[in-house]
Amino acid sequence: MKSRQMIHFLLFFSILGAVLDVSLGDDPSESYWLLRVKAQLNDPSGVLNNWSPEVHVCGWYGVTCSDDQLKMVGLNLTNSGLSGTISPEYGFLASLEMLDLSSNSLTGSIPPELSKLQNLKSLLLYSNSLSSEIPVELGLLKKLQVLRIGDNLLSGKIIPDIGNLSELRVLGLAYCQFKGSIPLEIGNLKNLMSLDLQKNRLSGQIPQEISSCEVLENFAASNNMLEGDIPSWVGSLKKLQILNLANNSLTGPIPTEIGGLSNLRYLNLLSNRLTGEIPRELNGLVQLEMLDLSENNLSGSISLSSTQLKNLNALFLSDNMLTGGLPNNFCWSSSSLKQLILARNELSGKFPLELINCSSLQQLDLSDNNFEGSLPSSLDKLQKLTDLLLNNNSFTGVLPPEIGNISTLENLYLFDNMITGSIPEQLGKLDKLSTLYLYDNQMTGSIPRELTDCSSLTAIDFFGNHFSGSIPATIGRLKNLVVLHLRQNEFSGPVPPSLGYCTKLQLLALADNKLSGTLPPTFQFLSELSTITLYNNSLEGPLPESFFLLKSLRKINFSHNRFEGTITALCGLNLLTALDLTNNSFSGPIPSTLGMSMNLTRIRLAHNHLTGNIPSQLGQLSELTFLDLSFNNLDGNVPSQLSNCGKLEHLLLSNNNYTGAIPSWLGGLEELGELDLSSNALQGSIPRELGNCSKLLKLSLHSNNLSGVIPLEIGNLIALNVLDLQKNKLSGTIPSTIQQCKKLFELRLSENFLTGPIPSELGQLTELQVILDLSRNSFSGEIPSSLGNMVKLERLNLSSNQLQGEVPPSLRKLTSLHMLNLSNNHLQGRLPLTFSGFPLSSFLGNKELCGPPLALCSSQAMEKSLSKGEVAGIVAAIVFVSALICLTMLYMMVRIWCNWRRVLISSSEGSGAELKREEMWIHGNEKRRNNGDYWKMNSWLAPSHEKHPSSTCIFQLKMDVESPDRTSL
């Protein structure tokens, strides 16, 4: 309908036009064309209402006529709320000298017909939504002096034809999407005073031809992609007042020639890649008011001086690599410097006292440098200072009380220094102070009560100091306080009730202190409070019931305190995302209203005295990722509704009294990374569905009453790091699929009823590291030699099983092993030599095992290769002992012959302490007593009932010497 109306409307006008045409003969009047123009415009505010044939055209809105009212010379429709397109019919307004359609919502392209306006001196189309390219025909407007078409959606290249506009004084092309390079032809514009190319996509170098624009006063090409050096010829543009090349990719040094621009008031080279030093010559810029060289790679020391730059208001040198301090003469008494930003450089030395003379300074930022030493007490000479940013330096000493005299001060940042001492009470005089950041210093003492006089304070951050004493009882006077961060100090005493009157408070962090007492009921007034962290204090008692009124709360962390009573007051908060009450004395049930906090992602209620069931309403928490209810007295089943918490990553329910089976729906929790159900009374088997939790890293089910077999599907848990199933009633064999759990570094299956051989596939778990514990089961068969592949394994416990056969020699490859327990099995044969360092207890209870640290196997003794020296020594010893024995035997035989009485033979009496120790453990293990029947003569003294090879004391002695670890016995 609307478009049809429009067509009718247009038709009407064309007819009207035709009529007028006829009535005025063959020279249609300007009013005719203007009405045609009007037809292309939407005019919601009706500014063009008086554009009608009844009114003389010179009286129409925006129209300027010549003095004799014969010619229309100007049309100014700026900021008139117009939309629509620019009609080609403007081209018929031939006498027009000025056309201003700026600051409307015009769309479409610039019509080439505008080039017919040969008298046009000024064309202002900026701040519309004009698109497509600049028509080349604009280059025909020979009289044009001002062309401002920026802040549109114009694109394409900047047409070289602009260079034909030889009268041009102002060229504004900023805030469009022009690309390509700056046309050389701009150099033809000898009258150009202002060239504004900011915020386009121009690339390439700045053309040298611009040096011909000798009367240029304003050259702004910031926010483009210009490259190359800043040309030194810039210094020849003697009229230049504004030079803005910020946010480009210009490289190289700042040309010293810029220092000759005696008219320059504004120089901005922010965020380029300029290198080298700041040229001393810049001190010649006597008119300069603003200098920004920040975010470059400038180095060297600062040689600028406001003594010479007498008009300098603002100096930004931040984010460079400047070194040293400030020059001695940096300031003079009537310096006009108001802003000095030197942040994020490598400036060093003491606080630059020169600055004290810059009495006009309002903003001083020395943050993130290497300044050291103490802060001068004369800082208060800066009586206009509003912002003092000294953070991230190495300032030491105390905070000078004189800072309290800077009555204008609003923001004081001293964080990340090494300030000591206490907060001077004089700070209380700063009634405009809004932000006080003292965090990460070494300050001590208590917060002076006077600080609560600073009624404008919005943010206090004292984190990470050594402040002590109590929080001032008058803190409630800080009515504007939004942030109060006192974490990690030594504050003691109660939380003052008046804190509840800081009703704008959004963040309250009192964690890691020594606060005690209860939370005051006045907290109910903190309706804006979003985050409250009180962890690691000694706060106690029940929570104020009114807590549920704090509807803005998003994060609560009260962990590690002594709170008691129910947690009902914290439940039902709509915006709550994290609730951590770990390690308190909360009791009673988990309220079902907790399920109303639909944004909850983390619930941590571990180590309390909570009772009852898990409310099924928690299943509504679809955003929940962390649920820790461990170490409580919860009972019942795990409610199936939790299966709706599909984002759960941590489910920790250990050390409660849960009964029933492990629910199979756990297998549907795809994000689950940690599942700890240990130390409950869970029964039944491990559901095979758990194998679907492919992201599971830690599965802990130990200390329950689980029975049945370990499901084959355990092998699907390919991400698993830790598997702990110990202390259950699991039976059957270890599924060989476990070899697929390649990332296991801890595997505990001990204290179950597992049977069968240890699968050799276990040896594929080459990343096992912390422990492999299969002890106290009924495993039989041999130890698979593949276990030798677990080269990172540090602890191996196979004790108290029914393992048989030899200890595979491959186990000697377990070089990382420092705990080994093979005791109480039926192992036999010789131990790998590398095991000699383990204590005897590692191998006890294997009747037929031998080799160090157990008794040597006889054959082993013979095989052992010995050095020549050792052989010589042994031979000598044998000879000596044999001789001794022969003599003794001779003597004995004589005695026996004579007396026929029992004689105890000590085979090597001369061997001293070593032998005694040997005897001791032989006595201590009577069963395993040295079966030294190699020398048959002993057999009748201590009859051996064991078959395996044995050895003599001599060789055991030898082994003792070789393995010093034995001394640990």
Q: How many residues bind another protein (CB under 8 A)?
A: 56
Asked if 464 and 442 count as a contact pair (C-beta separation under 8 A), the reply is no
Interface residue with another protein, options 100, 387, 453, 773 (CB under 8 A): 387
Closer residue to another protein (CB): 673 or 711: 673
Spell out the residues 6+ positions from residue 347 whose beta carbon is closer than 8 angstroms to its own.
302, 322, 323, 324, 325, 326, 366, 369, 370, 371
391 scored as a contact of another protein (CB under 8 A): yes
Q: Exposed e or buried b for every residue in 302-312, given b needs 16+ CB within 10 A?
A: bbbbbbbbeeb
Give the H/E segment covering residue 806: strand 802-806
Q: How far is the CB of 339 from another protein (least distance, A)?
A: 6
Tell me which of 393, 452, 769, 842 binds another protein, using CB under 8 A. Answer: 769
As measured in angstroms, the least distance from the Cβ of 420 to another protein is 19
Residue for token pair 């795809």: 670
Nearer to another protein, 463 or 523 (CB): 463
The stretch near another protein (CB under 8 A) out of 176-184, 208-216, 459-467, 899-907 is 459-467
- 288 lines the binding site for another protein (CB under 8 A): no
Does 90 contact another protein by CB under 8 A? no
Binders in 646-685 for another protein, by CB under 8 A: 649-650, 673-674
Query: Interaction with another protein in 516-545: which residues (CB under 8 A)?
Result: 533, 535
The DSSP bridge pattern shows strands 105-107 and 83-85 to be: parallel
Q: Is 450 among the residues that bind another protein (CB under 8 A)?
A: no
Check binding of 339 to another protein (CB under 8 A): yes
Kindly indicate which of the ranges 39-47, 782-790, 812-820, 849-857 contains the residues binding another protein, using the contact rule CB under 8 A.
812-820
Residue 367 near another protein by CB under 8 A? yes
Site for another protein in 547-606 (CB under 8 A): 557
Residues 482 and 506: beta-carbon distance below 8 Å: yes
Smallest distance, another protein to C-beta of residue 414, A:
12
DSSP assignment string, 521-542:
GGGGG-TT--EEE--SSEEEEP
By CB under 8 A, residue 389 contacts another protein: yes
The least CB distance from residue 187 to another protein, in Å, is 26
Among 8, 238, 273, 818, binds another protein (CB under 8 A): 818
**Closest to another protein by CB, 387 or 751:** 387
Check: CB of residue 715 under 8 Å from CB of residue 740: yes
Any contact of residue 219 with another protein (CB under 8 A)?
A: no
Pick between residue 154 and residue 250 the one whose CB is nearest to another protein. Answer: 250
Other CB atoms within a 10 A radius of the CB of residue 424 amount to: 19
Contact residue for another protein among 292, 453, 724, 918 (CB under 8 A): 292
Nearest to 456 by CA among 477, 484, 485, 486: 477
CB of 584 to another protein, least distance (A): 16
Binding part of the chain for another protein, among 41-49, 130-138, 490-498, 504-512 by CB under 8 A, reads 504-512
Report phi then psi at 633, rounded to 5.
Answer: -115, 40
Tell me if the bond preceding 759 is cis, omega within 30° of 0.
Answer: no
**Applying CB under 8 A, which part among 15-23, 107-115, 420-428, 814-822 lies near another protein?**
814-822
Site string for another protein, 118-157 (x = CB under 8 A): ----------------------------------------
Name the residue nearer to another protein (CB basis): 464 or 663.
Answer: 464
**Cα gap 955→861, rounded to integer Å:** 7
Residue 743 binds another protein (CB under 8 A):
yes
- Kindly report the number of other CB atoms within 10 A of residue 741's CB atom: 23
Dist CA 106 CA 90 (whole Å): 14
- Shortest Cβ distance from residue 242 to another protein (Å)? 8
100 near another protein, rule: CB under 8 A: no
Do the bridges between strand 633-636 and strand 609-612 make them parallel or antiparallel, or are there none, so unpaired? parallel
266 near another protein (CB under 8 A): yes
Binding segment for another protein (CB under 8 A), chosen from 456-464, 521-529, 703-711, 892-900, is 456-464
CA distance 478 to 95: 67
Q: Which 409-448 residues touch another protein, going by CB under 8 A? A: 411, 413, 415, 435, 437, 439-440
In whole angstroms, the minimum distance from the beta carbon of 675 to another protein comes to 13
Give strand pairing partners of 557.
533, 580
Q: Which two tokens stand for residue 99?
A: 């056309």
Cα 815 to Cα 233, 330, 475, 769, 819, distances in angstroms: 73, 67, 62, 12, 11
CB of 314 to another protein, least distance (A): 5
Among 551, 562, 742, 895, binds another protein (CB under 8 A): 742
Q: How far apart are CA 310 and CA 337, in angstroms?
A: 8
Q: State the minimum distance, in angstroms, from the CB of residue 240 to another protein.
A: 14
Q: Which of 32, 90, 219, 316 binds another protein (CB under 8 A)?
A: 316
Q: Which of 745, 779, 843, 955 binds another protein (CB under 8 A)?
A: 745
Q: Does 380 participate in binding another protein (rule CB under 8 A)? A: no
DSSP E strands in 585-705: the ranges are: 585-589, 602-604, 609-612, 626-628, 633-636, 650-652, 657-658, 674-676, 698-700
Which backbone phi and psi does 324 adopt, to 5 degrees? 75, -165
By CB under 8 A, is residue 290 in contact with another protein?
yes
C-beta separation of 745 from 719 below 8 A: no
> Could you give the angle at which helices 953-962 and 868-899 cross, rounded to 10 degrees?
150
Using CB under 8 A, pick the residue from 239, 466, 792, 795 that binds another protein.
792
**Long-range CB pairs of 568-571, under 8 A, 24+ apart, other chains included:** 568/593, 569/543, 569/544, 569/545, 570/543, 571/596, 571/597
Task: State the helix-helix crossing angle for 2-23 and 30-39, rounded to 10 degrees.
Answer: 170
How many residues make up the chain in this entry?
969
The answer to whether the CB of 335 falls within 8 A of the CB of 355 is no
**Closer by beta carbon to another protein, 57 or else 627:** 627
- Whole-number Å distance between alpha carbons of 265 and 278: 17
Under 8 Å CB-to-CB from 854, ≥6 apart: which residues? 831, 840, 843, 928
Task: Determine, following the binding rule CB under 8 A, whether residue 490 of this chain makes contact with another protein.
Answer: no
**Is residue 815 part of the contact set for another protein (CB under 8 A)?**
yes
Q: Is 97 in the site for another protein (CB under 8 A)?
A: no
The verdict on 629 binding another protein (CB under 8 A) reads no
With contacts defined by CB under 8 A, name the span among 29-37, 132-140, 313-321, 727-735 that binds another protein: 313-321
Query: Is 461 near another protein (CB under 8 A)?
Result: yes
341 binds another protein (CB under 8 A): yes
Q: How far is the CB of 741 from another protein (least distance, A)?
A: 12
Instruction: Establish if 238 lies at the interface with another protein (CB under 8 A).
Output: no
Interaction between residue 330 and another protein (CB under 8 A): no
Neighbours of 815 (CB within 10 A): 10
Beta strands in 214-344 (DSSP E): 218-220, 225-226, 242-244, 251-252, 266-268, 273-274, 290-292, 314-316, 323-324, 339-341
Which residue ranges make up the site for another protein (CB under 8 A)?
A: 242, 266, 268, 270, 290, 292, 294, 313-314, 316, 318, 339, 341, 343, 363, 365, 367, 387, 389, 391, 411, 413, 415, 435, 437, 439-440, 459, 461, 463-464, 483, 485, 507, 509, 511, 533, 535, 557, 626, 649-650, 673-674, 697, 721, 742-743, 745, 767, 769, 791-792, 815-816, 818
